[in-house]
Amino acid sequence: MIIAIDGPAASGKGTLSRRLATHFGLRHLDTGLTYRAVAAALLAKGLPLGDEAVSVEIAHNLDLAQMDKSVLSSHEIGEAASRIAVLGGLRQELVELQRRFAEKPPGAVLDGRDIGTVVYPNATVKLFVTASAQARARRRTDEMIAKGQEANYASVLEDLKRRDERDSQRTVAPMKQAEDAVLLDTTEMDIETAFQAAVDIVSRA
Ligand code: C5P
Which atom of ligand 1 is least distant from the CA of 85? Answer: 20
Whether residue 150 lies inside any domain: the answer is yes
Phi, psi of 42 (to 5 degrees): -65, -45
Whether residue 140 lies inside any domain: the answer is yes
Whether residue 160 lies inside any domain: the answer is yes
| Number of domains into which the chain is organized | 1
Whether residue 205 lies inside any domain: the answer is no
Closest CA to 119 of 173, 83, 82, 164: 173
pLDDT digits (tens, 9 = 90+) for 11-46: 999 999 999 999 999 999 999 999 999 999 999 999
- pTM for this predicted structure: 0.96
For the chain, the straight-line distance linking the first and the last C-alpha, in angstroms and rounded, comes to 11
**Residue 156 Cβ contacting ligand 1 at under 6 Å:** no
Full domain range(s) for residue 68: 2-199
Whether residue 204 lies inside any domain: the answer is no
Whether residue 119 lies inside any domain: the answer is yes
* CA 201–ligand 1 middle distance (angstroms): 24
What string of DSSP letters covers 141-200?
HHHHHHTT----HHHHHHHHHHHHHHHHH-SSS-----TTPEEEE-TT--HHHHHHHHHH
pLDDT digits (tens, 9 = 90+) for 135-188: 999 999 999 999 898 999 999 999 999 999 999 999 999 999 999 999 999 999
Whether residue 23 lies inside any domain: the answer is yes
pLDDT digits (tens, 9 = 90+) for 97-134: 999 999 999 999 999 999 999 999 999 999 999 999 99
Which atom of ligand 1 is least distant from the CA of 35? Answer: 8
Whether residue 105 lies inside any domain: the answer is yes
Check which CATH number belongs to the domain holding 73 and give it: 3.40.50.300
What is the SS3 assignment for 95?
helix
